[in-house]
Structure 1
Amino acid sequence: MTFPEIKIGQPRPPTWRERLSAYLMLVRLNRPIGIFLLMWPALWALWLAGNGHPPWQIVMIFVIGVVLMRSAGCAINDFADRKVDAHVTRTKERPLAKGTVTPQEAVIIFLALSLTAFVLVLQLNWQTVALSVVALLLTFIYPFMKRFTHVPQLFLGAAFGWAIPMAFMAVNESIPNLAWLLFIATLIWALIYDTQYAMVDREDDVQVGIKSTAILFGQWDRVVIALLQLLFLSLLLGIGLSAGRGAWFIGGLVLALGFAVYQQWLIHHREPNACFQAFLNNNYLGMTVFLGLVFDYALGG
C-alpha cells in the first residue's frame, strides 16, 4: 500500500509588520528600562553642568542620542549573545534566538543607529564629538566582555556613564573633577543594578559559560550590593554639596535611599522575578535623584 506524496511548502515569509515588530524587539523599544537607566545620569550631568538651566537644544540632542545608542547597544548585545540566548530562560524569545532577525540584520541596525547618533552629535562642539567616539567603542565592547571577565558591569557602567563627561563638555567645554566623580558614581550604580539583573540568570549563565558579578559575588551578593548602594548615595551627596545643592536635593537622596532599602528587601531570597523587580526599581531611584536636582535648582536658590 502506498501513500500519496505530500509536498510541504516553504514557510511563509514574514510580513513587513512582523519584521518591524522583530526589529523593535531587537532594540528593546518594548522595554525602555535601559533608556531610563542611561538617561538619568545624562540628565544629572546636564543639570549640574548648566547650573539648573542647561540649553534645551543640547538636552534634546542628549535625549535622542540616549535612545539611539541604547537601541544600538541592544542590537550588538544580541549579536554577541546569539549563540547562548536560546539556552537562557529569560532571553530565549529574543529575535536573534528565535531566528526572526538575522545576525547580519542586527549588525546593520547597530551601524545605522550609531551613525544616526554620530550625525546628531556633530551639532555639538568638536571636543564632544571626539568623546562620542569613546562612547561608541564602549557600546561595542561591553557585550563581548561577558566571556572574558566576571565584571562586565564595569564596562556597562562606563558605557552608560560616558554621557556625563560628554554633557559637561557640551555645556561648558570642560570636564571638572565633579564630573568624573559623577562618572564613578554611575559606574557603581551600574554594578548595583546589573548585578541584580544578573541574579535573575545566574544559574543559566553558569551553564552556558557567561560571567557576571552575580556569579563572582556568590553568597555575598546582597552584602556587596548594600555596600555599593551606600557608597553610591554617599558619592551623590558629596557631589551635590560640592555643587552647592541643598534641602531639595538631599530630600531626593533620602527617597533614593528608601528605594535602595526596598531593593534589598526584594533580593533577600534571591528569587529571580523579585531580583528583576529590584533591577527595574532603579528607574525610580534615578528619577528621584534627578527630580531632587530639578527642584533644588528651581526652588532652593
Structure 2
Amino acid sequence: MAKNQPAQLALGDNAARQLANATKTTPQLSTISPRWLTHLLQWIPVEAGIYRLNQVKNPQDVLVACTQRDEAELPTTFVDYEQQPREYFLNAVSTVLDVHTRVSDLYSSPHDQIKEQLRLTIETIKERQESELINNPDYGLLASVADEQRVFPLTGAPTPDDLDELLTKVWKEPAFFLTHPLAIAAFGRECTRRGVPPPTVSLFGSQFLTWRGVPLIPSDKLPIADGKTKILLLRVGDKRQGVVGLYQPGLAGEQSPGLSVRFMGINRNAIASYLISLYCSLAVQTPDALAVLEDVEIGKYHDYPDTYK
C-alpha cells in the first residue's frame, strides 16, 4: 500500500454500481401536452374524406304565424337551402419513421425500440393535429370565426367583462373557452384584482378555472405575438349545430380514429420504414358556434421572453 494512502475498508459505491441494474424509463418527450381540444370535440366519421356542410338560406324568410281561431288564412312558406354549400376535405398529418433493424434486434430490452419510436412519433403527430385544428388557414378555428363574432378587449388584459362579451356571441349552450395558459393566468390576475376569483371545475381529473360556469381550457397552440394572444369560445357537437371534428374511419392499419400506421418494408440498407398518417379536419356548423376575443394582452415582453421565440 502506498505511503499516506488511506485504506479502503469496504466496497465503494462506484464499483458496486457496476453490478446493479438501473431502472430505465421510457423516453420522456417534453413537447407532449394534454391536448384538451381533441378530447372535448365531438368527432364525426367522414365518408370518402369529404364533409358537405348544408345550411339554410335566409332563415329569416321562414314564415310562421299564431292565428286566431276564427281566421281561415294561414301563411305559406318553405325552407330554402344554400345551393353551393361548403365542402371540407380531410387533411393529412404524416411522416415516415425509419428504424434500423440492427437497433430493433439488439437494443429492445427492456423497452421495445420500434414501439417507443412509434409512440413518440405518434405523440408528435397528435400535437401537430391540435395545432392545425386551431391555426390551419383553411379550416382552423382562428380562420373560421365570422366577422360579426370578433370582439376586442376593453383594456387590453382579459377581464370578466370581455368574457361576458364573448358569451353574448356564443350564448346558445357555450361549451368552453380555449386560450393560451398565459392568457388564463392574466385573466385570473384581473379577477383577483377585482375581488372576484373565478371558481374551478374538475374535468378529466384536472382542475380548470371557469367563468359563468364555462371552463377555460388551456392550449399552448394558440399563437402569441407582441405579448398578445386570443381567447376562443366554442359551442360543440353535431346536435347543437356547433364545432365538430372530422376524421376518416376504417383506415388500413388504424391505431385510433383517423390514425394509421403501415409497415412499408425493409430496404437494402436494413432500414425498416413505417408510414404514420392522421387524417382530420374541423367544421363550424353555424357562425354563432364560435367567437374570438382578439388582441388579448398577457403581459410585457420581458416577462415571458421564451414564449416569443
TM-score (norm 1): 0.24
Bigger proportion of residues as helix: 1
Greater relative contact order (CA < 8 Å, ≥ 6 in sequence): 2
TM-score (norm 2): 0.24
Q: Which has the larger radius of gyration?
A: 2
Bigger proportion of residues as strand: 2
